[in-house]
Structure 1
Amino acid sequence: MTRVLLVSQYYWPESFTITAEVARLARNGFEITVLTGQPNYPAGKIFSGYSAFSIRRDRVEGIEVIRLPLFPRGQGSGLRLMLNYLSFILSGLLIAPFLLRGRRFDLVFVFGLSPLLQALPAVLLSRIKGAPLVVWVQDLWPESLAATGFIRNPSLLGIVRLLVRFIYRNCTRILVQSEAFRAPVAALSPPGATIACVPNSGQTADAATPPSESARALGDRIAQGFSIVFAGNLGHAQGLDTLLNALDTLRDLPDLQVYLVGSGALDGWLEQERQRRNLTMLHLPGRFAPADMPVILSNAAALLVSLRKEAIFGLTVPSKMQTYLSTGRPIIASLDGEGARILSEAGAGLSAPAGDPTALASALRHMASLPPTERSAMGLSGRRYFDTHFAPDRITALLSDHLTAATHPAARHQGD
């Protein structure tokens, strides 16, 4: 049995795909220990029952989970977010080696969401344990820092680039969530580095957990009229100002209702704009648990995915794309690049260029004008594409192969 140490700042009860992926890997014969932080995403507050500056050991579906102290990220504060990132990195560097003393692992594996620098403790642990390191890159650094405006100083971005180069050069194997990530990752990797694409499978709900009554009620509301649902983080990267500008021009569609199901840094701004613009068709029901999402998504006339117009986001496939495809509902995308390509290839909906409210409004009008049979055909085409390309068991098998291969001595390359 392959013993894996997973390093991920985010894990259950935070809603990320890695939790379900770890459960499937465990069923495939991997013995996994998770090193993570105290849950605080997306609201920015430590979840009830947890403590920010404590060390905690849990069992989640039989998986050992070790939680390190961290500073909660808060909402809308760049300083707090930086402290959140740095506190997990420092806990990983200073505390994790002590907590894991005497433990042996065959592999150290990083789920590389932002901050990608969370892999720095993994580099140290990989060397201490004499185990190969694999990073599954979910977000491009330093590009995403510049695109979101989190860091604009060229000198700081240069330092981050050097740290990312250091991480990649200590990897046995690098996995990327999008084919479009391959070139920018290779540019910071040593010559001959093994880089492979392993896409995400999307967020899945536990079929054994029934939805809440509030989710059922919301699903019933969504089923009325022509309802569009956006699910997930409500942050700067999602380009939601484009949606609001599009809705300003769609007041003549009486059945149009738009539900932004989630939470994030723009919660307050969205509510203010909803009232200021008198967007009565826009609803902000808040965040729901993963078990609630199927009844919400399945009742929508169509699902919306959007990102800001930035070059880096054209390389990204939002994980909600796979989740949406799995529902069998048609999709409206305000995206460039790889995400738009997948939607077109799947024949699962309509797309508009990122950051173009006129084009997004046109796509919404077009979707509203289609007969239900045509919308259903789009959704079914998307589901078939999901089954072919993103089915969870298929992705887990692919990931398992790469993790196993990385443990073989011949698979290792030496970093500079």
Structure 2
Amino acid sequence: MKDILIITSYFPPEIGAASNRMFHLAKGLQTLDYKVSVITPMPNYPTGKIFQEYKGKFKYKRVENKITIYRLWFYASNSKNKFLRLFAMFSYSFSLIWFFMWNKIPETVIVQSPPLLVAFTNMFFLRSKKRKLILNVSDLWPMAGLELGAFKKNLSYRMLEKIERFNYRNADVVLGQSEEIITHISTLYPDTIIQLYRNYPDFEPPKIIDKLPSEGKITLVYAGLLGMAQGIYKLCEQLDYSRLEFHIYGNGAEKSKIENFIVKNPELPITYHGEVTRDELHKELLKYDITVIPLFNRIYGSVPSKIFEYARLGLPMLYFGGGEGEDLVKTYNLGWTAPAGNYQALNELIATIDKQYLTFENKQRIRTLALEQFDFNKQLKELKLYI
């Protein structure tokens, strides 16, 4: 049985796409008869505070689903202060270096990027002719940070670009979650082995509810991170509610602003439901007519994993983020698209949605397509060729 180590900054019990993606990868490799271990920080996302069960620990080891999980200490913070966030990343890097010094590292290591500096720590200290390093790239940093307004093109940005390229250059295999990521990296390093590895989910979807579309207003739902990149607070402000009601699930930096907005605007049909488990969420989502997938800005290389998850549930989706994600929704006829950031176009589109599209039969069509086209196990078996 071959040993594989996965190093990631996000892992359950944390919630979110990154955590789910790495859990499914670890579980999937384990089912293919690999001996899988995972290194990850103490759980803290998205609150930026270490979960109660793990407080006061420097290292925590546990075996779950036959996967050995090492949780390492680090300085947890979701502060907007760049220096505190940088210190948090460095603290995890220091814990990783300490772990490397005192533990035997398998010959095959999968490294998650971003965070860019954490990935650099792994690529720098684990370089070896006897070791295969597989870099799993889910977003193109620092480029994505520049598009989000988090960075400026200065000396710091150029240093991050050098770190990014060091990571690609020292990877034996690069996994990219989008065609745009593949194009970017292959342009820089055409001889690098690069494989498309989408963020396909792996779960048994609940039965689709055979019901007519909701009477009256369309029920629109968002579920996920309430962060700046998603722009849910802005969406609450800009939506035209004459034809819809808006339901929100999740947590994040904008939670308080959204709650305050709802309190100050009680006449608007907006409901915040808080956080629920992923299994509960899947059942809840099937109660609604349409789900919305927004991005505040179009981010090159980013394809929200919600596209694949919601398609597996059979949910028609309203995509409001541009880029490759928009192309996927159009190509597979998964719902509707509006130009990223154009709220007038979004409202005009909602006004034209025909409820005849919100039928049980169409939801079943979307699910069937997802099971055929977005097959996690098929993709995992293809990945095995590169490990």
Cα distance between partner residues in 1 of 2:101 and 2:82: 30
Which consecutive residues of structure 1, in runs of 5 or more, have no partner in the other structure? 208-221, 404-416
* Aligned-partner Cα distance in 2 for 1:29–1:400: 11
Q: Which residue number corresponds to residue 97 of structure 1? A: 100
**1:206 Cα deviation after fit:** 9.4
Structure 1 residues 79, 223: closer, same or farther in 2, change over 3 A? farther
> What RMSD in Å do the two structures reach over aligned CA positions?
2.4
In 1, Cα distance between the equivalents of 2:25 and 2:226?
A: 24
2:75 match: 71
Alignment of 1:234-383 (within 5 A): 234-247=226-239, 249-250=240-241, 252-253=242-243, 256-278=244-266, 280-310=268-298, 313-367=299-353, 369-371=354-356, 374-383=358-367
* Corresponding residue SS for 2:229: helix
CA distance in 1, matches of 2:215, 2:35: 43
Correspondence 1:7 to 2:7: yes
Q: TM-score with structure 2 length normalisation? A: 0.89
SS in 2 for 1:262: strand
| CA distance in structure 2 between the aligned counterparts of 1:44 and 1:382, rounded to whole angstroms | 36
Matched, 1:44 2:76: no
CA offsets 1:341-389 (integer angstroms, 9 cap, x no match):
111111111110110111211232233x422x55444433332331222
Is the CA contact (8 Å cut-off) linking 1:348 and 1:378 kept in structure 2? no
Letter in 2 for 1:51: K
Query: Which amino acid in the other structure matches residue 92 of structure 2?
Result: F
Greater shift after overlay, 301-310 or 391-400? Answer: 391-400
Distance change in 2, residues 1:144/1:314 (3 Å): closer
- Give structure 2 stretches of 5+ with no counterpart: 207-213
Cα contact 1:42–1:263 (8 A) shared by 2: yes
Distance 2:188 2:55 in 1: 37
The answer to which structure has the higher helix fraction is 1
1:255-285 superposed Cα distances (whole Å, 9 cap, x missing partner)? x321121111111222233344556212222
Deviations 1:295-326 (A, max 9, x none): 1111111111011223xx24321011111111
Q: Are 2:205 and 2:312, in contact at CA under 8 Å, matched by a contact in 1?
A: no
**Which residue pairs with 2:209 in the alignment?**
none
> Is 1:31 the counterpart of 2:39 in the alignment?
no
Matches within 5 A, 1:119-198: 119-127=119-127, 130-152=130-152, 154-189=154-189, 191-198=190-197
* One-letter amino acid of the structure 2 residue matched with residue 89 of structure 1: S
Asked if structure 1 preserves the Cα contact closer than 8 Å seen for 2:289 and 2:358, the reply is: no
Matched residue of 1:232: which SS? strand
Instruction: Report the number of matched residues.
Output: 376
Q: TM-score, normalization: structure 1?
A: 0.84
For the residues of structure 2 that align with 1:188 and 1:91, how far apart are their CA atoms?
Answer: 31
SS in 2 for 1:315: coil
1:61 equivalent among 62, 65, 82: 65
How far 1:196 moved relative to its partner? 1.5
What is the distance in 2 between the residues matched to 1:292 and 1:164?
Answer: 38
> Contact 2:6–2:37 (CA<8 Å) still a contact in 1?
yes
1:391 and 2:379 equivalent? no
Whether contact under 8 Å (2:233, 2:257) holds in the other structure is no
Q: Following the alignment from structure 2 to structure 1, what is the Cα–Cα distance between the partners of residues 125 and 306? A: 32
**CA contact 2:295–2:321 (8 Å) conserved in 1:** yes
Identity percentage over the alignment?
23
Residue type of the alignment partner of 1:134: I
Change (3 A) 1:361 1:45: same
